[in-house]
Amino acid sequence: MDASGQPTLDEIEDRFAALAAGRLSRDEADRWAARWVVEDGTAWDDLSWWALNCLYGIDVPAGESGGYLHDDEQVRGWLAELRKRRAR
């Protein structure tokens, strides 16, 4: 967390990595991100806001077919995109 109590981009990336590796549940990732997306009201840099919004809702079911709206491959893709955008 930074001085304001907000998670840093490193911490946001760590949540993505833990989710992709199966060390963090989708429900846990969603609830954590919801705190910052819905309740916080703080201004975020574009990359952090994008990443938080990807995590928020990550546990939405795909419907009757089972699984999730955003599958594991998409989660890994978002993590790769986050890392690529950070490297710029």
12, with CB counted inside 10 A (0-12, 13-18, 19+), is buried
Query: Which pLDDT does position 22 carry in this prediction?
Result: 95
Q: Are 59 and 27 in contact (CB under 8 A)?
A: yes
Ramachandran assignment for 38, one of left (phi > 0), alpha (psi -120 to 50 degrees), beta (any other): alpha
Max CA distance (Å), the chain: 44
- pTM comes to 0.87
Task: Tell me the mean pLDDT per 10 residues along the chain, length 88.
Answer: 77 96 96 88 87 95 86 95 94
Beta carbons within 10 angstroms of residue 86's beta carbon: 12
